Chain A
């Protein structure tokens, strides 16, 4: 499947990109995070277990077991700090 990936705030800066199209073979958010960690460097560091970040799928907050569908919009970002 192909995913539209979006990165925000500190993670956008660390990953050096705001968005990308990603070809992905897995099924869930957990699978996706594993694939991104395998890129190493900032990806492995920021998305490591125990680090604080959020994932949204099609603009709804998701959990590791959230299933992904072709053309889903997936955003990864730090805990929010508005208000």
Chain B
């Protein structure tokens, strides 16, 4: 995998800055924080060029927008991404968001079954919000996290998600996490994994996404095909200052269950790409992969 496609999985800033931000959320209104961020974004666009150019290319080439619309779209995209980050810290400070859940029965149906299942998330919207809402007392949810996350952020996330029967598993280089993941699935638990970025293995599956070839990580799809597991996909999309819409979809079909493993993993990846495409057509500005996703 090329350097530009790698992502360290870190939240920017120092632990002191994160603590200060959480402290501010306890006293300042969310709207004021958004306003301050809106003023900072132009500088971020200027000084973090890879983020700006990758989103500009995505809007121009994949969404087919004109140059002026794409430029302002970049600003709107960065602003929405900033609100997603601020909402995370607001959550750590105890703030809550209104959420409308769509197809929640797909989640409850699977949690009632003895077998484990996979949930795919992606860097669209604010997947962490899903974790605060999808509580399942009967089945623990194991969220695979990027290994580079700072310990302070990790502690806050654990404090927030732990009461919801969610365990964070860091995908460290020593492969320990694979045994934990394997045991979780064997015990009939839920594994939540990002299905748009690689970690642990550089292998990918090629799919067609918004009219061009793109590469999704093989791992999540191989895992589902290997154990013939049910798969859900979830998206938490910003719908207002304090509101998110959470959408859940079932990805596997009865036809996939009788396919060969190779065909099933490719069929799952194709179905996921189709779903991403549908979501991105409706919510083009909530795409937060700040690197050249299509190569």
A binds B: no
